[in-house]
Amino acid sequence: MKNHHIGLRKNIKLSPETFRELRDFIYEKSGIFFSEGKLYLLEGRLNRRIQKLELESFEEYVAYLKRGMNQKEELTMIFNLVTINETYFFRFERQLKVFSEKLFPVMVKTRREQGRQKIRIWSAGCSTGEEVYTLAIMIRENMNGSLGGMKIDLLGTDISHNVLEKAKKGLFTKNSFRGSMPSHYKAKYFVNNSTHAEIKDDLKRNVEFQYLNLKDVHKIRLIGSVDFIFCRNVLIYFDEMMKKRVIRSFYDTLNHGGYLFLGEAESLHGISSAFKVEHFPGTFLYKKE
Ligand SMILES: C[S@@+](CC[C@H](N)C(=O)[O-])C[C@H]1O[C@@H](n2cnc3c(N)ncnc32)[C@H](O)[C@@H]1O
């Protein structure tokens, strides 16, 4: 008989060989790449899970994964456990201002002239939703009723079901507000209590969240064409080959005149030269001409 209580307390060691096997498997399924230095991170994050399954070692776990019986469910667990979901409202605000004050209003005008009725915005790797809700708030603040019937689709996708559930609930704690969101927005867009702030229903109705693994290029195609892609602080977890694949799909997914937004310290240097680089105060963006 195994003692669950004691079982959950021990630390199962991950050997360098099994680490490589496991990280290659995760890479193959998600494009997320763990370099040699990340052995302890994987060991730490998967220890509890292995013990919960009443397995004795990482070797048994890899065999269990590869046997394939519960592979889909197990991959869901892995993605929930190994992804880094760090995010907050109004992150890299300088860039968001360029979007909401400059590019978005121009896009509305252009698309209207083209006879289009919809603008689509996609946050790829949206985590718990702060980025998508920030965009919804900024659009409301800046367009102030001047959308003239233009419909706005705001879509957030992620590989972790856990974060998507949180994003859909729209329930946030203090940590999500460590960015530079103007304080009066808290009352305007959230229902507040002593511990949580919940996005008001009418804003929630403006956004949608879906599961999407960026490794599945054919699934990216199902998103359809979009005008803006935000993929900030996501590419850092991929190796070069995966970055190139994902960026190529983003290029195909963007409408002409559309923009790709990367994180503050990220660039497409060495990854793609398909986009035109446009410079703005404090940021640069990638345009599909
Ligand atoms: C650090 S968060 C970035 C959140 C937000 N974009 C921001 O900048 O604040 C990275 C997110 O990318 C997601 N991610 C990692 N690999 C992915 C993949 N292969 N497909 C889809 N999402 C992935 C993670 O689950 C995580 O929520």
Q: What number of helices (H) and strands (E) belong to the chain? A: 13, 10
Rounded CA separation 213/238 (Å): 12
Q: What is the mean pLDDT of each run of 10 residues along the chain (289 residues)?
A: 54 97 97 96 96 96 92 95 96 98 96 96 98 97 87 97 98 97 96 96 97 96 97 97 98 98 97 98 96
CA 128 to ligand 1 center in whole angstroms: 9
Q: Which of 158, 210, 211, 223 to mutate to test the pocket of ligand 1 (most atoms within 8 A of CB)?
A: 158
Report yes or no: 176 and 137 within 8 Å, Cβ to Cβ.
no
CATH of region 4-82, choose from 3.40.50.300, 1.10.155.10, 3.30.70.141, 3.40.50.620: 1.10.155.10
| CB half-sphere exposure, 82, CA atoms < 13 A | 28
**Any idea which residue has 């530079």 for tokens?**
180
CA 5 to ligand 1 center in whole angstroms: 33
CA 57 to ligand 1 center in whole angstroms: 29
Rounded CA separation 150/14 (Å): 54
User: Would you say domain 93-287 falls under CATH 3.40.50.150?
Assistant: yes
**Which residue's C-alpha comes closest to atom 14 of ligand 1?**
125
Ligand 1 touching residue 132 (CB < 6 A): no
pLDDT at res. 69: 85
Can you give the residue ranges of every domain in the chain? 4-82, 93-287
